[in-house]
């Protein structure tokens, strides 16, 4: 009976270790927001310049929480790294017995006139070359979740597409300047603190993701 309990516990532990470990999401804040119904009463001070009006180089549009803009995602990241190492070292040692200057006979000659020599060498050569290129092109409608005091916009949004049980999720968040918005569209290269991630779920994602069990085995080996 104890053996059966131990076997069941071992099987349960193996199942837990073999479960896929999903990485922590980069976009942690809310990706959608509803606009507030009460409209703020803006005081008119009677001057030509008004705080609520748009600046000279911006589109005459006032953005509020809950408004939607389009993000034109066009990102390309490439990196390369190359390293070459070549180290070598030679060493030698020669020692003569203290009696080598005067001839001795018999056993003293073997003890005191013994000469020793040693030499060694060490050579290491190594080289490495790695390169990586990532490209993402898409469009995503995001919501304005906060309007900062300097009129910058905090935006966030996500898009989910499910096909045959496989779920593909695209999330985006960042800070947008109103002057960079043209026709309700802003390029992702003009977004500050941008967080962009693409997460897949389903049989394809499970097949391409290593389990915790094999990851721990690799760390041990």
Per the structure, the complete domain to which residue 27 belongs is given by 20-37+47-79+134-220
Q: Is residue 206 part of a domain?
A: yes
HEC assignment per residue over the chain: CHHHHHHHHHHHHHHHHHCECCCCCCCCCCCCCCCCCCCCCCCCCCCCCCCCCCCCCCCCCCCCCCCEEEEEEEEEEEEEEEEEEEEEEEEEEEECCCCCCCCCCCHHHHHHCCCEEEEEEEEEEEEEEEEEEEEEEEEEEEEEEEECCCCCEEEEEEEEEEECCEEEEEEEEEEECHHHCECCEEEHHHCEEEEEEEEEECHHHHHCCCEHHHHHHHHHC
What does the pLDDT look like over 160-216, one tens digit per residue? 888 887 888 889 999 999 999 998 899 999 999 988 888 876 555 555 565 565 566
Mean pLDDT, all residues of the chain: 73
- Residue 172 included in any domain: yes
Number of domain units in the chain: 2
Q: Is there a single domain that holds both residue 99 and residue 61?
A: no
How much is the pLDDT for 1? 55
Based on the domain organization, do 202 and 96 belong to the same domain?
no
188 & 117 share domain: no
Tens digit of each residue's pLDDT (9 = 90 or more) over 35-49: 665 655 656 666 565
**What is the per-residue pLDDT for 7?**
53
Within a domain: 9: no
- Considering 90, 109, 129, which residue would you say is the last residue of a domain? 129
pLDDT at 12 over 70: no
Tell me the average pLDDT across 60-80: 84
- Indicate if 92 and 163 belong to the same structural domain: no
Of 98, 129, 160, which one is at a domain's C-terminal end?
129
User: Average pLDDT, stretch 83-103?
Assistant: 71
Give the per-residue pLDDT at 152. Answer: 92
pLDDT at 136: 83
> What confidence score (pLDDT) does residue 48 get?
60
Q: Are residues 27 and 91 both part of a single domain? A: no
The answer to pTM > 0.85 is no
- Residue 31 lies inside a defined structural domain of this protein: yes
Residue 65 shares a structural domain with residue 103? no
- Condensed to tens digits (0 to 9), the pLDDT of residues 118-148 reads 777 888 888 888 888 888 888 999 999 999 9
Same-domain pairing of 153 and 73: yes
- Same domain? 114 vs 145: no
Whether residue 69 has pLDDT greater than 90: yes
What average pLDDT score do residues 92-112 get? Answer: 59
Three-class secondary structure of residue 136 per DSSP: strand
* Pair 69, 154 in one domain: yes
- Domain end marker among 70, 103, 129: 129
Tell me whether residue 194 is in a domain.
yes
Is 141 in the same domain as 125?
no
- Tell whether 75 and 89 lie within a shared domain: no
Same domain, 114 and 216: no
- Residue 70 lies inside a defined structural domain of this protein: yes
């Amino acid at each position: 009976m104890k053996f059966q309990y131990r076997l069941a516990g071992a099987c349960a532990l193996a199942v837990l270790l073999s479960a896929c470990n999903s990485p922590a999401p980069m976009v942690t804040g809310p990706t959608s927001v509803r606009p507030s119904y009460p409209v703020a009463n803006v005081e008119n001070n009677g001057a030509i310049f008004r705080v609520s009006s748009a600046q000279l180089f911006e589109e005459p549009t006032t953005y509020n929480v809950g408004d939607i803009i389009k993000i034109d995602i066009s990102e390309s990241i490439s990196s390369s790294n190359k390293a070459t190492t070549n180290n070598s070292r030679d060493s030698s040692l020669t020692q003569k017995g203290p009696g080598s200057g005067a001839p001795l006979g018999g056993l003293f000659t073997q003890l005191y006139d013994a000469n020793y020599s040693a030499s060694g060498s060490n050579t290491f050569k190594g080289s490495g070359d790695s390169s990586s290129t990532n490209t993402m092109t898409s469009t995503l409608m995001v919501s304005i979740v906060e309007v900062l005091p300097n009129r910058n916009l905090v935006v966030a949004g996500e898009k989910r597409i499910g096909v045959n049980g496989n779920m593909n999720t695209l999330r985006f968040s960042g800070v947008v300047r109103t002057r960079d918005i043209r026709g309700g569209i802003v390029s992702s290269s003009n977004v500050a603190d941008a967080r962009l991630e693409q997460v897949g779920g389903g049989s394809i994602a499970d097949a391409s993701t290593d389990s915790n069990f094999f990851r721990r085995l690799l760390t041990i080996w």
